[in-house]
Amino acid sequence: MSNIQEIKKRRTFAIISHPDAGKTTLTEKLLLFGGAIQTAGAVKSNKIKKTATSDFMEIEKQRGISVATSVMTFEYHDLLINILDTPGHKDFAEDTYRTLTAVDSVILVIDCVKGVEEQTERLMEVCRMRNTPVIVFVNKLDREGRNPFELLDELETKLGIRVRPLTWPINMGAEFKGVYSLYEQMLYFFKINKTKIERDVAKVGLDDENLESLVGERDALQLIEDVELVEGVYDAFSEDAYQKGQLAPVFFGSAINNFGIKELLDTFCQISPIPQPRPTDVREVEPTEPKFTGFVFKIHANLDPRHRDRIAFLRICSGKFERGKFYKHVRLGKEVRFSSPFTFMASDKSVLDEGFPGDVVGLYDTGSFKIGDTLTEGENLQFSGIPSFSPEIFKELINMDPMKSKQLEKGIQQLTDEGVAQLFTLDLGNRKVVGTVGELQFDVIQYRLEHEYGAKCRWVPMNISRACWLTADEKPAMDQFVRLKGNQIAYDKDRNPVFLAESEWMIRMNRENNPAIHFHFTSEFK
């Protein structure tokens, strides 16, 4: 098969949701449809159980599971589908943001009872920044949820994207009967079966005489009325607008009951984008280019302290990746090769001999990778678009054992390379400020520094609420600002200056008073 055929075959996407909306269940059902697993329950949830939030080792153990489910590959209708898993726990939101840089599209799961929840809004912001195409799946229709029109309005206002329903639910809760496909103008009528895929599908149009006998008079009338309203209110579905990330098609169903999943999957296969070009600091890389390129978007540490190796996840962007071949590690400027790269079919790890754009390769790493690192066949380019977002909690890292300062330094560097947290350094006294999105990471870092690097630390909370990356049109303006602000300026891992702000008010004031300085809320501002 030629490279182009391989590319056209691939669909790489992530399922995102607020915890508990049904991401794991939907993933599992998709794998069932794809024949990648035979029974429900085979996919281990990487969801961090609520009871364990105070026990971070337990959480890390649970996170360990997510290595196996980081990428799930299956074949369906001659397509090779890669689902990239994302952690649901809020404290690991940055992992999810980074994973979103490695996909070509997203399925967003919403709970029909709860509607759009906080974390969903954040995730969608990231998708919108990159114009990632999004399909929405409104889940749990077997529960008494909100009115579908109301949910669609909420999706549009809270997520800032136009929506277009492609299926429509027939009643909900205990009376949920199935969905009407507005796309095919067919009714899909379901029979409940939790573990096996057994659907009672009646392909019936709205004007069919059997409609009433299938769903009852009241639901039939309601459906006809709803569909009329939908067609009147919403523009026709445009594949082009979806592919540009401007319009999100919406599906309704119930993941646990296999309702509406096949319609979702079949439409996904028809409309979702093939592996897309990706920006670098030099030019855009097309997937069809003959030479291999790829970037690391996730690093997973091995929790066993006897094996400090890590797994780097690389997204292939162009050409063909081959096992055992030398590639250029652009940041380090050296040749590297991998004798046992691996891939995942369902949850089985297997050695990968060759991979194509859209694929994700697992690489064993002994510490030479950072998030965002690029591999090429010699060309000097670096994939961009892997932003760091401002952390929410900041603490100063204090060394508790002066004899181990080297270990501490190395440990914190490596842990932040993995993306566990962000490290900012204050010039004065080389003080280290660690920023995270959740309290949990501080416990994780402290524990890992001690057990993997033999270094002891403690944390001193800092009165900082936001980090802003700074640029200036002219260097003297920046130099002056940095001098003036003293200890409010720190440097990120790439020595970019960052303003550590106590409050939003502080940022506003500094912005107003320093028009020559530009404040950015993510590190990606080129």
Instruction: Report the interface residues with ligand G4P, using CB under 6 A.
Output: 17, 19-25, 45, 47, 88, 139-140, 142-143, 254-257
Residue 318, helix vs strand vs coil? strand
Six-digit token string for 328: 């250029």
The distance of closest approach from Cβ of residue 20 to ligand G4P in the complex, given in angstroms and rounded to an integer, is 4
Distance CA 334, CA 403 (A): 33
- Residues sharing a CB contact under 8 Å with residue 115, sequence separation 6 or more, in sequence order: 146, 151, 154
CB-wise, 141 or 312, nearer to ligand G4P?
141
The distance of closest approach from Cβ of residue 319 to ligand G4P in the complex, given in angstroms and rounded to an integer, is 34
Longest Cα pair distance anywhere in the chain, in angstroms? 84
- Is residue 132 within 8 Å of residue 245, measured between CB atoms? yes
The distance of closest approach from Cβ of residue 50 to ligand G4P in the complex, given in angstroms and rounded to an integer, is 9
Torsion, Cα 176 198 107 243, to 10 degrees, reads: -100
The distance of closest approach from Cβ of residue 408 to ligand G4P in the complex, given in angstroms and rounded to an integer, is 36
CB-wise, 257 or 293, nearer to ligand G4P?
257
Q: Which of 132, 124, 76, 72 shows the shortest CA–CA distance to 101?
A: 132
- Is residue 181 within 8 Å of residue 167, measured between CB atoms? yes
DSSP 399-464: ES-GGGHHHHHHHHHHHHHTTSSEEEEETGGGEEEEEESSTHHHHHHHHHHHHHH---EEEEE-S-
CB-wise, 17 or 436, nearer to ligand G4P?
17
- What 8-state DSSP symbol labels residue 114? T
Q: How far out from the chain centre does Cα 402 lie? A: 39
Residues in the chain: 526
- Is residue 342 within 8 Å of residue 308, measured between CB atoms? no
CB-wise, 40 or 271, nearer to ligand G4P?
40
The distance of closest approach from Cβ of residue 403 to ligand G4P in the complex, given in angstroms and rounded to an integer, is 44
Distance CA 356, CA 275 (A): 10
CB-wise, 117 or 443, nearer to ligand G4P?
117
The distance of closest approach from Cβ of residue 283 to ligand G4P in the complex, given in angstroms and rounded to an integer, is 38
The distance of closest approach from Cβ of residue 99 to ligand G4P in the complex, given in angstroms and rounded to an integer, is 15
The distance of closest approach from Cβ of residue 320 to ligand G4P in the complex, given in angstroms and rounded to an integer, is 34
Distance CA 465, CA 393 (A): 7
CB-wise, 85 or 418, nearer to ligand G4P?
85
The distance of closest approach from Cβ of residue 112 to ligand G4P in the complex, given in angstroms and rounded to an integer, is 9
CB-wise, 1 or 174, nearer to ligand G4P?
174
CB-wise, 19 or 277, nearer to ligand G4P?
19
CB-wise, 20 or 392, nearer to ligand G4P?
20
